[in-house]
Structure 1
Amino acid sequence: MRTFGAVVQALREHAGLSREEFAERVRFSRHTVASVEQGRRMPDKVLVERAEHALGNTGALRKASRHLARHPGLARWFRAWARIEQTAISLCTYECRVVPGLLQTEAYARAVSLSVPPRPDPAVLEERIAARMARQALLSPDRTPPANFSFIVEQAVLERRTAGEEVTRELLDHLLGVVERCWNVEIQVMPLRQVVHAGLDGSLQLAETPENEWFGYSEGQQNGRLIGDAKELSMLQHIYAKMRSQALTPEDSLGLLKRMRGAL
């Protein structure tokens, strides 16, 4: 939105229009125009069309506006990563707090959302869960091209039995089903007892774009950080590779998941 707003402002200034003059031509208030130019407001479709006519019909604003979306149900700090995630050809995820969103069941997602205060408004909760479930379409091996997924999840996260045995039973069935259905998804469990653990600094994600460019993402309390620095990405890739060697193999992880499921 900030980039789109900067383009609007640049075209307006190139046309020699003040903000007041431009607002008059597009028949929106000066305040609305300022909010769009500063990236604080999603541009209305009508404003985009009127701005095109006012600024020379280049088509630039019309084309750029297609890449803007509100991403309902996603935290503001997660949205940039969600856009990268949508087109990634490989995605690596290490989680030590909860089961990754791409692997959650609806009941588990609901329990996680309700566990962390403040409790969300019912409408916000449903929007959040719907967005999380919709993201799971990314796992499909029928995508063209399909993406490769690697997940490392702490055993303690599964042993916690968030929301009780019934929800955990459904969650384990779901994880086993994902492994069975999706040849492009690999799940590894980091065992409870691991003397040397490369991931003690916390959860992380890595994604490779169709252009073979890598990005990273780390998340904390009410914030997330998109990582593009090559040196930092190299370090994170080394950490993730080390954790893959320290976690149970995919086969042993599958066996553990089955034993955990049988114990419930």
Structure 2
Amino acid sequence: MARAENKETAGPATRLVAEIAKMLREQMGLTQEELGAKIGFSAAAVSAMETCAQPASDEMLVALERVLGHGLGIFERARSYVRIDKYPAQFKNYVLLEQRAVGLCLYATLVVHGLFQTEAYARALIGGGYPPLPEHRVEELVEARMARKALFDREPVALIEVVLEESVLRRTIGSPEVMRDQLLHLAECAKRRNVTLQVLPLDCGLLGEYAGARGEMEMVETPDHDHLVYLEPQDESLLISDPAKVSAYAQRYAKIRSQALGPRESLGLIERLAGDRE
């Protein structure tokens, strides 16, 4: 559903796409209703896109490219930038780093990391958050989160390490069926050659050591081989570049990883938990 407040908060890519689409539509002598008929959307949807009341979806951008693009690839290239406009404000800068990263080291303590979420899990998680979001915003965020998965198959390949707390695997999000599919998806991800997935067991602190006590973190290696740390506590964001601080986080991550189950043991645990939900 289009919302008036979106007109004021729309990002630069969304505004540019709206202006270009309107200009090209008018050059072709099409009404909003006529353009909508050609791209499979209502006149109201076209109007909402042109006024930035509702950002263009991936599906609409593909259709706009076919009808208005004249083979230039304008709307096709705009898709990734419009997606960024849809992310929460605190995440927009980081997602650009994530998309270009040559390496990621991730530690998730509460829920499955966004890169590894299924669509159903993400929808249940985002839709069940607080404060409640309108349905159209939930769908925007789910679509944007799923688009991040392109990183797994990108060339050049990105190497991704992730440590998940065992509690993440046992916490049901959505329904037992949703959670089972999520666990099976994690198992498939763990078999990728560019992914190392480990589980930090619930009893890792029995000997008095628990390196993960200070919470989640994401470590990024950029194409220039700079190393950064990203933290996101309570919808805030913090990007750390100071070498001494980054080194301290890297050492902590290494300790967390050393306390986790090995990749094969972790995969076995995930598969057993998925089987328990049948």
Output the CA distance in 2 between the equivalents of 1:119 and 1:227: 30
**95-104 vs 171-180, which moves further:** 171-180
Q: 1:139·1:147 contact (CA, 8 Å) conserved in 2?
A: yes
Output the CA distance in 2 between the equivalents of 1:245 and 1:41: 42
Q: Which runs of 5+ in 2 are unaligned?
A: 1-9, 20-77
Q: Helix, strand or coil for the counterpart of 1:226?
A: strand
Q: Report deviation, 1:206.
A: 0.3
Q: Report deviation, 1:151.
A: 0.4
Q: Helix, strand or coil for the counterpart of 2:229?
A: strand
Matched, 1:149 2:149: no
Normalising by structure 2, what TM-score? 0.69
Deviation sequence 1:49-91 (CA, Å, 0-9, x none): xxxxxxxxxxxxxxxxx9x945133111111110111111000
Q: Report deviation, 1:235.
A: 0.5
Greater C-alpha Rg: 1
What residue identity is the alignment partner of 2:217?
L
Choose which of 27, 31, 42 in structure 1 pairs with 2:12: 42
Q: 2:173·2:179 contact (CA, 8 Å) conserved in 1?
A: yes
- Aligned position for 2:100: 87
Output the CA distance in 1 between the equivalents of 2:175 and 2:202: 20
What residue identity is the alignment partner of 1:145?
P
- Aligned position for 2:181: 170
Matched, 1:260 2:273: yes
Which of the two has greater helix per residue?
Answer: 2
Output the CA distance in 1 between the equivalents of 2:268 and 2:86: 34
Q: Helix, strand or coil for the counterpart of 1:210?
A: coil
Q: Report deviation, 1:41.
A: 7.2
Output the CA distance in 2 between the equivalents of 1:228 and 1:107: 34
Q: Which runs of 4+ in 1 moved over 4 A?
A: 43-46
Q: Which runs of 5+ in 1 are unaligned?
A: 1-39, 47-65
Normalising by structure 1, what TM-score? 0.73
What residue identity is the alignment partner of 1:159?
R
Deviation sequence 1:180-223 (CA, Å, 0-9, x none): 3x210111011011111112111000010111111110011121
Please tell me the root mean square deviation across aligned C-alpha atoms, in Å.
2.2
Q: 1:73·1:129 contact (CA, 8 Å) conserved in 2?
A: no
What residue identity is the alignment partner of 1:119?
P
Deviation sequence 1:27-48 (CA, Å, 0-9, x none): xxxxxxxxxxxxx9738658xx
- Aligned position for 1:31: none
- Aligned position for 2:91: 78
User: Equivalent residues in 2 for 1:162-201 (5 A)?
Assistant: 162-180=173-191, 182-195=192-205, 196-201=209-214
What residue identity is the alignment partner of 2:170?
E
Output the CA distance in 2 between the equivalents of 1:122 and 1:101: 19
Output the CA distance in 2 between the equivalents of 1:84 and 1:107: 26
Q: Report deviation, 1:123.
A: 1.1
Q: Helix, strand or coil for the counterpart of 2:86?
A: coil
What residue identity is the alignment partner of 1:211?
D
Output the CA distance in 2 between the equivalents of 1:75 and 1:232: 26
What residue identity is the alignment partner of 2:111?
V
Choose which of 110, 134, 138 in structure 1 pairs with 2:147: 134
